Amino acid sequence: MKQRFVAILSLICLLLLPAAQAQETVRPIAPAKRPLPPEEASASVTRFSYIVYGDTRGRRDGIEVQYEHSLVVGGVLEAIKRLEATDYPVRFIMQTGDAVFDGGDPRQWNVSFVGLINRLTTEGGVPYFLAPGNHDVTVAEELDDPGRQQGLRNYLAAMSQFIPSDGAHRRLRGYPTYAFGYGNTFVVALDSNIANDPTQYQWVKGQFEGLDRKRYVNVVAIFHHPVFSSGPHGGSRVEAPSAALRTRYMPLFRAHHVKLLFAGHDHLFEHWVESYVDNAGPHRMDLVVTGGGGAPLYSYQGEPDLTQYLQSNAASKVQLDHLVKPGPTGDNPFHFIIVRVDGDWMDMEVIGVDWGSGYQPYRSNKVELRDPTR
């Protein structure tokens, strides 16, 4: 009789489990102890640092805390402490997407992700800005696709303390697309899953056109899918979001002299430099893939075919330099990036963690984000 009762109780629990999961909601990431000031209040700031990394989804999301991501978080906290008393304190953190494996499952956010980010916002004290990845909101290419709605709700719940409110000047209503300004740097975070969406494009274009470029000398964009990559999502393949970024957004970025692009999706580190010329003279745009935040690491798969891209942008004299290529085997470490800003000058430090602590992709781990002759 006792065994029968236990069996019935177990069956009831199994039947109730989906309902319990459906009722669970994603906990918002804790607010930063040192939030960004109102945009106008930081206008005089010209020296600071920020941190970027991406792709934190783990193999046991929803079961336990993401272990590999925790190694990155530990390194980030050390970097924040190290820079705190310098002229370049860390003021915010950005993530290139894929927080969890299944963004539609609230438990994965709550169990594996949110608690780690709370360490960054409370112990580290700085705000956290996440661009949505395909694992967060699915690969659906339409804003209103039913398949992406639960993941989008969970993403917005997690990020509710950080991104502007829906319909605010720096947020596109109904989208996970937003912008913010700090000091002399302006950041746009867009949803590359829907890179062909015309409403998002027009909003980003409007944000650029309305900028005070005397103040915002550094313009940065962050999104999930890389424009160029030599990993499994690049090489001989051109995924639809990457193709849309090339044809739709890269001309826009050039027109507004965006200096720095951050993406993830491929779980590795690589660095491209695009040089181009317009009426104002020669320009440089750095494109960085940083997907070493804890997801299973990838390796080099081959160079992408850029013939058509270069031909279609010949009028701008576009040239591409693959400054850092990922390794062909297991030598692409978990990592994060520190960008140091000093006026219109920026440099970048790549910090490997765990076994990758000696990572030196530039024969050191630092590089200036400008041409040596300029």
Overall average pLDDT of the 4-30 stretch: 61
pLDDT at 39: 97
> How does pLDDT run across 94-103, given as a tens digit for each residue?
999 999 999 9
Q: Domains in the chain, start-ordered, CATH in brackets? A: 42-368 (3.60.21.10)
Mean pLDDT of the chain: 94
- pLDDT at residue 36 in the model: 98
Query: At residue 52, what are phi and psi to the nearest 5 degrees?
Result: -135, 140
Q: What is the pLDDT of residues 250-275, one digit of tens each?
A: 999 999 999 999 999 999 999 999 99
* Confidence band, pLDDT 50/70/90 cuts, at residue 23: confident
Nearest to 224 by CA among 186, 202, 203, 193: 193
Hey, what amino acid is at 152?
L
Average pLDDT (310-321) is 98
The residue count for the chain: 374
Tell me whether strands 90-95 and 345-352 are parallel, antiparallel or unpaired. Answer: unpaired
Give the per-residue pLDDT at 371: 82
Is the per-residue pLDDT at 6 higher than 80? Answer: no
pLDDT in tens, 190-243: 999 999 999 999 999 999 999 999 999 999 999 999 999 999 999 888 999 999
pLDDT computed for residue 235 by the predictor = 85
* Position 331 confidence tier, pLDDT thresholds 50, 70, 90: confident
pLDDT over 60 at 7, yes or no: no
Tens digit of pLDDT for each residue in 114-132? 999 999 999 999 999 999 9
Percent of the chain past pLDDT 90, that is, above it, reads 90
Contact, 56 vs 336, CB < 8 A? no
* Interatomic CA distance for residues 120 and 115, integer angstroms: 9
Confidence of residue 22 (pLDDT cuts 50, 70, 90): low
Q: 0.75 cut: is pTM over it?
A: yes
Beta strands in the chain (DSSP E): 47-53, 90-95, 128-130, 178-182, 185-189, 218-222, 260-263, 269-278, 281-290, 319-324, 335-342, 345-352, 366-368
Per the listing, tokens 């999502």 go with: 233
The alpha-carbon radius of gyration of the chain (Å, integer) is 21
